A = this chain, B = another copy of it.
Amino acid sequence: MSTISLKKWLNLLARLLNHFFNISNVFYILLIFVPITIILDIFFSIDNTVLFALSVLALIPLAKLVGDTTEHLAEHYGNTGGSLINVTFSNTPEIILSIVAIQAGLFDLVKANIVGSILGQLLLVFGLSLIVGGLKFREQIFNKKNIVFHITLLLISITILSIPTILILGNLTVTEANIENQMESTGFMVMILSNSFAILLLSVYVLSLFFTFKTHKDLFVTSTNETDLMSKPNSNAEILITKKIDDPRIWSKKKAIGILAISMIGIAIISEILVSTVEETITNLNLGVLFVGAIIIGIVGNVPEKITSMMMARKGKLDLALGIAANSASQIALFVLPVIIVGAMIMGVSFPLIFTPFELITMFASIFLVYFITNGGRGNWFQGVILVGFFIAIALGFYFIK
């Protein structure tokens, strides 16, 4: 066997190993938990806490599958269409889980999950990307305009979504009297406001798409290193995140839609199991609904996404990592939550948009912290420490709300 032939074989082996143990694909191994969870749920009377843990683990690869498949599908619809598909479908796992939870009446869990997802993007993804990137690069420059754009969208969304809570807390504090009685009439008010605000935010969302994909497109194309990435894709992970024009590995439209449909059905089934076991788990582990919703489901569910971000930051693409995180955070508030509210409205369920003060204050504080930190346009590891430190403190706070 010649040296060249040996090299070839080693190379092939390396690529094979790389493919399966690629940090990005390794999560697909967790797909094994999907059938395990379903089978255990149907045929065995297993402890609900274990079933809950398994269903959380099973959701991780399913959410990743939806994300990756959406990328493949987006390739077939040009730049703008593709981005729209990407943006719209990438949040389906969260929406499906929330709708299932709302049907089961777990309103606090849904709201906590939304809050946890936003905080996860703003503090954990931002923070870890800054730390991981900052340990390799002394300073990385990023486009602060793009981040401020999404942070502003987030600020307006959160402020609007907090209006019912402010009105109710404000009234309680001022009048004090006859809360029971008041609750009846305020319940009506909260529903009207929730639904109006959902429609208002969805309108702003549609206009924001028009702004970012049509009238002021260039602002956002230049702001990220996406074009750079496209021209020289270095790793599998990047390929899956960025646009892959004319790549033979892109799935056909049929295949993509099929896998998307299957993974969504999987998410719906697993969500049912998760929702049916969460209450007993909360009691068993003596945890609060907010902690389980915000920290366990909200954070664990997006682990692959977070790791991809960190990998990008480590490769000097901090701008891209932060841009995606800011975009995701603003989308959850501006699109996902309003869609859930409208979904509840259609299902005829009263989903009251009342948050705890702690949820609201931590979101506002996170927005301002990210604003202060990104306003210089340069990232270093210590900024990441601040954000992650804040996240740890918030997680501790959630732990004690019961």
> What residues of chain A have their CB less than 8 Å away from a CB belonging to chain B?
138, 145, 148, 151-153, 155-156, 159-160, 163, 166-167, 169-174, 176, 179, 189, 192-193, 196-197, 200-201, 203-204, 207-208, 211, 215-216, 356-358, 361, 365, 368-369, 371-373, 375-376, 380-382, 385-386, 389-390, 392-394, 396-397, 400-401
Q: Bound state CA distance, A222 and B358, in angstroms?
A: 40
Of A357, A361, A393, chain B has the most CB atoms within 10 Å of the CB of: A393
Q: Which residue of B lies closest to A373 (CB)?
A: B152
* Pairs across A and B, CB under 8 Å, 25 listed: A148-B372, A152-B373, A155-B369, A155-B372, A156-B386, A156-B390, A159-B390, A163-B358, A163-B396, A167-B397, A167-B401, A169-B357, A170-B356, A171-B401, A174-B357, A192-B400, A193-B396, A193-B400, A196-B393, A197-B393, A201-B389, A204-B386, A211-B382, A211-B385, A371-B372
Q: Which residue of B lies closest to A192 (CB)?
A: B400
Contacts of A148 in B (CB 8 A): 372, 375-376
Q: Tell me the smallest distance from the CB of A87 to a CB of chain B, in Å.
A: 16
Whether A397 contacts B163 in the complex (CB less than 8 A), given A203-B389, A386-B156, comes out as yes
B356 engages A174 (CB within 8 Å): yes
**Supplied contacts A156-B369, A193-B397, A200-B392, 19 more A-B pairs, CB within 8 Å:** A152-B373, A155-B369, A156-B386, A156-B390, A159-B365, A160-B390, A163-B393, A163-B394, A166-B361, A169-B173, A169-B357, A170-B356, A170-B358, A173-B173, A192-B400, A203-B389, A204-B389, A208-B382, A211-B385
Q: Tell me the smallest distance from the CB of A353 to a CB of chain B, in Å.
A: 12
Q: Bound state CA distance, A151 and B390, in angstroms?
A: 15
A372 engages B152 (CB within 8 Å): yes
Q: Bound state CA distance, A373 and B396, in angstroms?
A: 33
Closest 5 CB pairs of A and B: A170-B357, A211-B382, A160-B393, A152-B372, A159-B365
Q: Tell me the smallest distance from the CB of A39 to a CB of chain B, in Å.
A: 40
B211 engages A389 (CB within 8 Å): no
Q: Which residue of B lies closest to A401 (CB)?
A: B167
Whether A166 contacts B358 in the complex (CB less than 8 A), given A200-B389, A389-B203, comes out as yes
Q: Bound state CA distance, A174 and B208, in angstroms?
A: 35
Q: Tell me the smallest distance from the CB of A390 to a CB of chain B, in Å.
A: 5
Whether A369 contacts B193 in the complex (CB less than 8 A), given A207-B382, A385-B204, comes out as no
Q: Bound state CA distance, A401 and B193, in angstroms?
A: 12
Of A156, A192, A361, chain B has the most CB atoms within 10 Å of the CB of: A156
Contacts of A200 in B (CB 8 A): 389, 392-393
Q: Bound state CA distance, A197 and B196, in angstroms?
A: 38
Contacts of A171 in B (CB 8 A): 401
